[in-house]
Amino acid sequence: MVEIIDGKKEAKHLNEITKQHIEKLAKSGIVPGIAVIIVGHDQASERYVRMKDKKARSLGIYSIMKHFENDISETDLIKSINELNHDPKINGILVQLPLPSHINEQNIIQSIDPKKDVDGFHPLNIGKLFLNLNEQFPVACTPKGIMTLLAAYQVNLNGANVVVIGRSPIVGKPLLALLLNANASVTCLHSHSENITLHTKKADLVISAVGNANTLNDNHFKPGAYVIDAGQNLDINGKLVGDVSYDQNSKNIGFITPVPGGVGPMTIATLMQQTVEMCEWSHVE
Amino acid sequence: MVEIIDGKKEAKHLNEITKQHIEKLAKSGIVPGIAVIIVGHDQASERYVRMKDKKARSLGIYSIMKHFENDISETDLIKSINELNHDPKINGILVQLPLPSHINEQNIIQSIDPKKDVDGFHPLNIGKLFLNLNEQFPVACTPKGIMTLLAAYQVNLNGANVVVIGRSPIVGKPLLALLLNANASVTCLHSHSENITLHTKKADLVISAVGNANTLNDNHFKPGAYVIDAGQNLDINGKLVGDVSYDQNSKNIGFITPVPGGVGPMTIATLMQQTVEMCEWSHVE
C-alpha cells in the first residue's frame, strides 16, 4: 500500500505556526505585509493571486495587490516595484510570472530589493542559497515547502540518494541547493537526460518537477522509494494531475505526495511563512 | 593506454588567445588591470599570488598587489577593496583566500563590486551562473578552465552522465551549474555520500575535487570514462598529487588530467582570460 502524504494537513499546521508568529508580532504593533503585482488578465494567474491575497488576509497579514494592464512599460513596472521597496509596510514583494513578452523578466526580478524578494528568485538570493550562507535570506517557496514536508515525515536526507527531475529556477535548481545543503547526494535530470530510470531506480527519494503527466510510473522506482510529485498538469479532461501515475497498489512507491493536495498547499503556506519571517528578520536587524 | 590530457599545452593556447585580445585592446589605448589582495604570510598563498602577478605582467596586463599584515581589520580591508572598486584601471579584484579568522570572508567577498569579481565568488555571480542568465558575468576560474579543457577535447556533455565529487563554492558548486547549463545529467557527491562507486561506475565523466590523495582509482570507473582530477594534494614525500591514483595501464580510464600539469595551469590561464573579458565587458556597456 502506497502511503499518501497529506499536504493539506501539513499546510494547515504550518499556517497555524505562522499565525502564532503573527500574533506575537502584533503585540509589538507589527503587521507583516505582502504586495503582489500582476500584469494582464491570465485567468490562472488571477485566480492564484486572489488565493494568495485571501490566505494572507485570513492570517492577519497586510496584503495589497497591484494589477496592471498588459501594456504597462518595463520602466513603469520597475517604478512601482521601487515604491514597494521603500514602503515600510511591505516585507515581501511578489511579481506573478509570466510577464508579457515586452518586459524583461530578469530586469523585474532584479529590481526587487533582495531583502523583500519573498519568492526567492533574485540571483543574489539564489547565490546565497547555493553557497549555503549562514545568514537569513528568502528561498523559493515550492522547494522550501517540499523540505518542510520531508522534515515533517522525518525523511533522513543525510547521505541519501536523491534524484531531482527538472532544473527550473523556481523548483528544480533551488531544490538541488537545499538537498545538497541537507547533505544528500543529488542527481539533477532534465529534458536532455538519457535513461532516467538508470538514476531513479537507485534513488531513495525522487522529486519530479517536470510538468508532464505520466512522466514517471511505479517501474521507475526502487521498492520503498519516497516520491515527491511537484508537477501540476491538466489532463485531457481538464483535471489537475501530477507527473507520476500510480495507484494504491503500486509496489515500489513507499510514499508519495498527491496532486492536488500535496506540494501545492505547502507552497502557499510557505509563502505566508516566509512573509512573516522576512518581517521578523527586518525587525531584528 | 590511458590518454593524458595536456593542461599546460591548452593553457599556453588559451594564453595566446588572451594575448591577442590584449593587443586588440591596446590599439584603443585600453590596458586590462587586475588587483590581487593578500593578507598575511602563508608561503603557498604568497607563491601563488606572485605567480599570478608574473603571468599577468608577461601578458601585458596591468597588475598590482596589495599585501597586508595579518592584523589588518575587516573595515580597513573593505576600505581598500572599495578604492579598487572605484579605480578605473582595475577590471578584476581577487582576494587570496583563506583570510585570518577575525575577518568574515563573506563580508569581504560581498564588498567586491560584482562586475570586478574576477574570481566569480560573489553570491550574485553564483546566482546568475545557476540561473544560466543570458548576460556577461565572471565564473570561478577552476571550473571555467575545466569547461575549456573539456571543449578543447570535444567532450560531448549533452545528456552525458557526469559525477562531480566535492561541493566547494570554488570548484564543485560552480561546476555543477556549468555542467547543468551544458545539458549534462549531473550528480553531486561529497563527504556525506555513501557508495560513491554506485554513481561513478555509470558516469561518462567524473570530476574529482575532493582534496584527498587516492580518493579514486581505476575500479571506480566504467571502461572509457573521462576523468578530470581537480585535486591538489601533497603526498607523504611532499610531492603534488591529485585525487585519483592510476597508471598508464589502468583499464577503465579513457583520459585523465594529470596533477600537476592538468587543471592547475588552466586555472591561472582562465584568470588571465577572465580579467581581459571583464575589461572588454566594461567597455561595451
Give B266-280 pLDDT, tens digit per residue: 999 999 999 999 999
Q: How near does any CA of chain A get to the CA of B58, in Å? A: 34
What percentage of residues in chain A have a pLDDT greater than 70? 100
Write the CATH number for B73.
Answer: 3.40.50.10860
Instruction: Over range A79-87, report the average pLDDT.
Output: 98
Query: Does any domain span residue A221?
Result: yes
Burial readout B155-185 (b: 16 or more C-beta within 10 A, e: otherwise): bebebbbbbbbbbbbbbbbbbbbbbbebbbb
- Per-residue pLDDT, A285: 57
- Per-residue pLDDT, B111: 98
- Per-residue pLDDT, B233: 95
- Per-residue pLDDT, A284: 81
Residues of B within 8 A of A202 (CB-CB) are 198
Query: Does any domain span residue A171?
Result: yes
Contacts 24+ apart (CB under 8 A), A42-51: A45/A96, A48/A96, A49/A96, A51/A268
CB pair distance less than 8 Å for A169 and B131: yes
Selected for mutation to probe chain B from A178, A187, A190, A197 (highest B CB count within 10 Å) is A187
- Per-residue pLDDT, B1: 85
Residue B187 has pLDDT above 60, yes or no: yes
- If one counts every other C-beta atom within 10 angstroms of the C-beta of residue B255, the result is 16
Nearest chain B residue to A125 by CA distance is B127
Query: Does any domain span residue A51?
Result: yes
> Are B172 and B229 contained in the same domain?
yes
Distance CA A197, CA A201 (A): 5
> Are B82 and B186 contained in the same domain?
no
> Are B77 and B153 contained in the same domain?
no
Nearest chain A residue to B190 by CA distance is A185
Whether residue B116 lies within 8 A of chain A, CB to CB, comes out as no
Closest among A277, A284, A4, A282 to A141, alpha carbons compared: A277
Distance CA B157, CA B184 (A): 5
> Are B236 and B163 contained in the same domain?
yes
Residue B132 has pLDDT above 60, yes or no: yes
Residues of B within 8 A of A188 (CB-CB) are 176, 180, 185-187
**Cα B64 → chain centroid:** 20
In the residue annotation, A54 being an active-site residue is answered as no
Whether residue A122 lies within 8 A of chain B, CB to CB, comes out as yes
Catalytic choice (A6, A115, A117, A119): A119
Residue A74 has pLDDT above 70, yes or no: yes
> Are A163 and A213 contained in the same domain?
yes
Length of chain B: 285
CB pair distance less than 8 Å for A187 and B190: no
> Are B150 and B204 contained in the same domain?
yes
- Per-residue pLDDT, B40: 96
Count of domains observed in chain A: 2
> Are B255 and B156 contained in the same domain?
yes
Query: Does any domain span residue A61?
Result: yes
- Closest CB to B193 among A122, A159, A198: A159
B80 labeled part of a ligand binding site: no
Mean predicted lDDT score pLDDT of chain A? 97
Residue A119 — φ and ψ, nearest 5°? Answer: -85, -15
CB pair distance less than 8 Å for B192 and A128: no
Whether residue A40 lies within 8 A of chain B, CB to CB, comes out as no
Selected for mutation to probe chain B from A110, A113, A137, A185 (highest B CB count within 10 Å) is A185
> Are B148 and B233 contained in the same domain?
yes
Selected for mutation to probe chain A from B115, B119, B187, B210 (highest A CB count within 10 Å) is B187
Query: Does any domain span residue A125?
Result: no
Instruction: Over range B193-221, report the average pLDDT.
Output: 97
Q: Could you list the residue range(s) of the whole structural domain that residue A203 is in?
A: 141-264
In the residue annotation, B20 being an active-site residue is answered as no
> Are B163 and B214 contained in the same domain?
yes
Give A118-129 pLDDT, tens digit per residue: 999 999 999 999
Query: Does any domain span residue B148?
Result: yes
Residues of B within 8 A of A135 (CB-CB) are 106
Q: How many CB pairs under 8 A join A and B?
A: 101
> Are A152 and A246 contained in the same domain?
yes
Residue A226 has pLDDT above 90, yes or no: yes
pLDDT band at B89 (very low <50, low <70, confident <90, very high): very high
In the residue annotation, A119 being an active-site residue is answered as yes
Nearest chain B residue to A187 by CA distance is B187
Rounded to two decimals, the ipTM of the complex is 0.96
Query: Does any domain span residue B204?
Result: yes
Write the CATH number for A228.
Answer: 3.40.50.720
pLDDT band at A227 (very low <50, low <70, confident <90, very high): very high
CB pair distance less than 8 Å for B185 and A185: no
Query: Does any domain span residue B130?
Result: no
Give B15-41 pLDDT, tens digit per residue: 999 999 999 999 999 999 999 999 999
* Contact in structure between A206 and A225 (CB atoms under 8 Å): yes
> Are A145 and A252 contained in the same domain?
yes
- Per-residue pLDDT, B123: 98
Catalytic choice (B119, B204, B229, B243): B119
* Contact in structure between A194 and B189 (CB atoms under 8 Å): no
- Closest CB to B159 among A124, A169, A193: A193
Mean predicted lDDT score pLDDT of chain B? 97
> Are B243 and B179 contained in the same domain?
yes
CB pair distance less than 8 Å for B188 and A185: yes
- Closest CB to A125 among B122, B127, B192: B127
Q: Identify the residue whose cell numbers are 601585458.
A: B60
Give B50-86 pLDDT, tens digit per residue: 999 999 999 999 999 999 999 999 999 999 999 999 9
- Per-residue pLDDT, A12: 98
- Per-residue pLDDT, A54: 97
- Per-residue pLDDT, B285: 57
Distance CA A189, CA A206 (A): 11
